[in-house]
Each structure stands twice: as structure tokens, then as C-alpha cells.
Amino acid sequence: MTGRTNRQIALARRPLGDIAADDFRHRAVPVRDLQPGEFLVQNRWLSIDPYMRVRMNEARSYAPPQPLDQVMGGTTAGDVIASNHPCFAEGDRVVGLGGWQLYAIDSGAGFVRVETSAVPLQAYLGVAGMPGMTAWYGIRHIIRPKSGETIVVSAASGAVGSVAGQLSKQAGCRVIGIAGGPEKCRHVVDDLGLDACIDHKAGNLDIQLAAAAADGIDGYFDNVGGAVLDAVMRRLNTFARVAVCGQISGGYDTTPLPLADTSMLLTARLVMQGFIISDHRDLWPAARAELVRLVAERRLVYRETIAEGLDAAPTALINVLKGANLGKQLVRLS
């Protein structure tokens, strides 16, 4: 044994509806010795993502269920602190499937080395990581915005939405964000540079959308589904594109989210496409490189909400699901 103690958080039971702190089990186990071909990562940062709630359900979704009593899956960023692997050396900075724990042992399949001279390590969990690449894919490959078009992005202040909105602005579009509350809306306009922001908690979504998008909507990056999607659908222009990225308004329990009216699909000849970013790993290197460059050039700004210490991870996930985060939700582990 290495003499190190690994603290971990496992899934104790499958929640019904809202999740609670006691759905998780905290434990401490020794870090075992490395086998040939393995390396040890000290996880510095843990990414908290809405899909984690999906995996807490029994039913298979686009990702398999999180097994009970096993370390919660999740992406981490950290440092290689010992190595028996020919391609990973002590001191390497890495991002990968480290899970909700302080240390991870890997044989090279779960982690990639990252370069932190232009962006900080934890950016590879947010703006230059899976959320940023999700925005990049939905905008560049599904919505394909053209200069002068009107694009709407929901959860616009969040990890994915903040990148989707800024990439749409860079394409020369009028971009309208949708976010929860006046403080998030202020951030979306003043800091992210979008043209307008609608507060979905203020009610009158149809009236607010009609005022902000008087000429209709050409592209919608949908992070939330539900009533917001229905309201945007009613204002879509002919040949509009909808990138269906997330359905967080349903809470990601097992209740399906209905779509109120599908007639617009035909009458407006819409393209509506769901996508999961893990299906497009071949595009990740190019997407990541472009996002890193945009951040380094200060053409892409981002915010982080940071919870301190592994024990804060369950509450951080609860907070994301109720919208308490601004930008990327992270947990600082060490």
C-alpha cells in the first residue's frame, strides 16, 4: 500500500425525484500499490454535471446507470504523482474519468494529458472541456448560425450555455439568452455580451420572447426542454434549427418531458436534432484546441462556481439541479 488514504463518495441508493445528501455514502480506503502500466492521479478538481442525476436512475439512458455502492462517476482534473506507465510521468497534468474521490489509478484509457500554459487546469472541465465542446458541437454542427440570424440559448449563464451564446455572437448573430433570475440575466448581457436575456422565472415567456425576438428565431440551443422549449418553438422561423442538448427542466428523474405541439416541425420545416457529445469524440481534439485558443485570446469568457472539498460534492450537484450555480460548477478537491 502507498500509505495514502483515498476518500470517496459512492451512490448509496437511487433517489426518487429530488436528490438528498443521504443518497450518497462517504468512505475512506487505502490507496493500493501501482501495477506495471498504471499511474496514480491526485484529483485536484471534480466537475459537477447534470448528467450525474440521470445516471442515478435505475433506467438506462444514453449513459448506463451509476452502480450502487461504487464511486460516483465524474470527470476530474489532476496531477500524476506516481507512474509505472511508459507514456505518463510524474508531474503530468491530466483530465479524465477520475470519479468522486481524491485519488484515481488508471492504465491510460481514462485520462488524457493537458497543457496548462494558456488556460488553468480546471478549464478543461468547463469552457475547454466536455461542456464547452458540447456547445461547440451544437452550434457548429447543428445550428450552423449565419450572420444576421437570431439565435436563442437557454441556461445561458451555465457551463454549456455560456459558450453556446458567445460562439453564436462570434458568428455575427443577434443572440438572446434565457436564464433564471435578474443577476444571471445581467451576467449574460454585461459579461458574456449577448444582446438580450429573458428571465424564465419572471413568467410571461411568450410575451418576453416576442419582445426580444420580434423577427422570430432561426436557431435554438436547448439546454432545458419543457415549457421553455414549447415557448421558443412557437416563435421559430421557417427552416429554423433546434439543437436538443439537455432537458434539465424535467429534473432528470424518470418522468418524461412532453413536447406540447409538434405541428411546427412540418409547417416551419424545422430541423430538431438531439445529440450527445460523447458520440463525437473524434472531434474533441479540434474542438478543445479551438476553445483553448479562444480563451487565451480572451474572446471567450467564463465563470466558475467553486465548492470546497470532496464532502461538498453532493450539495454542489443539488445546487446545479436547482440553478444555484453561475457558470461551471466545480469542486476543488486539493
The residue (of 105 and 248) whose beta carbon lies closer to ligand NAP is 248
Binding range to ligand NAP, per CB under 6 A, among 70-78, 243-251, 292-300, 308-316:
243-251
Does 184 contact ligand NAP by CB under 6 A? yes
Backbone angles phi, psi at 155, to 5 degrees: 45, 50
Which among 58, 49, 50, 4 is positioned nearest to 29, based on CA atoms? 4
- Distance (Å, whole) CA 289 – CA 70: 33
Rule CB under 6 A: choose which of 224, 287, 310, 330 binds ligand NAP: 224
CA distances to 63, 135, 149, 172 from 218, in Å = 30, 17, 6, 13
The number of residues making up the chain comes to 334
Q: Is 76 in the site for ligand NAP (CB under 6 A)?
A: no
Assess 49 for contact with ligand NAP (CB under 6 A).
yes
CA dist., res. 220 & res. 111, Å (int): 33
The bridge status of strand 271-274 relative to strand 196-199 is unpaired
- Cell readout for 219 is 436557431
Would you give the distance in Å from CA 247 to the centre of its chain? 12
DSSP string covering 227-244: HHHHHHHTTEEEEEEEEE
Q: Are strands 236-244 and 271-274 parallel, antiparallel or unpaired?
A: parallel
Q: In this structure, are strands 304-308 and 196-199 parallel, antiparallel, or unpaired?
A: unpaired
Asked if 158 is part of the footprint of ligand NAP (rule: CB under 6 A), the reply reads yes
Q: Is 179 in the site for ligand NAP (CB under 6 A)?
A: yes
Return the C-alpha cell found at 334: 486539493
Contacts with ligand NAP, 112-141, as mask; x by CB under 6 A: -------------------x--x-------
The C-alpha R_g of the chain, in whole angstroms, comes to: 20
In this structure, the dihedral spanned by the alpha carbons of residues 70, 72, 73 and 75, taken in order and rounded to 10 degrees, is -140
* Nearest distance, CB of residue 286 and ligand NAP, angstroms: 17
Interacting span for ligand NAP (CB under 6 A) from 112-120, 154-162, 204-212, 229-237: 154-162
Per rule CB under 6 A, is residue 73 in the interface with ligand NAP?
no
Binding mask 50-69 for ligand NAP (x = CB under 6 A): xx------------------
> By C-beta, is 114 or 159 nearer to ligand NAP?
159
Any idea what DSSP says for residue 158?
B
Q: Which stretch binds ligand NAP (CB under 6 A): 45-53, 112-120, 140-148, 309-317?
A: 45-53
Site for ligand NAP contains 19 (CB under 6 A): no
Among 29, 276, 286, 289, binds ligand NAP (CB under 6 A): 276
Number of residues that bind ligand NAP (CB under 6 A): 28
Q: Is 249 a residue that touches ligand NAP (CB under 6 A)?
A: yes
Q: Are 143 and 219 in contact (CB under 8 A)?
A: yes
Choose which of 8, 42, 83, 223 interacts with ligand NAP (CB under 6 A): 223
Q: Is 16 in the site for ligand NAP (CB under 6 A)?
A: no
Of all helices (H) and strands (E), which one includes residue 271? strand 271-274
Residue 236 sits in the site that holds ligand NAP (CB under 6 A): no
- Binding region for ligand NAP (CB under 6 A) out of 109-117, 264-272, 273-281, 286-294: 273-281
- Interacting residues with ligand NAP (CB under 6 A): 49-51, 131, 134, 155, 157-161, 179-180, 184, 200, 223-224, 228, 245-246, 248-249, 275-277, 320, 323, 325
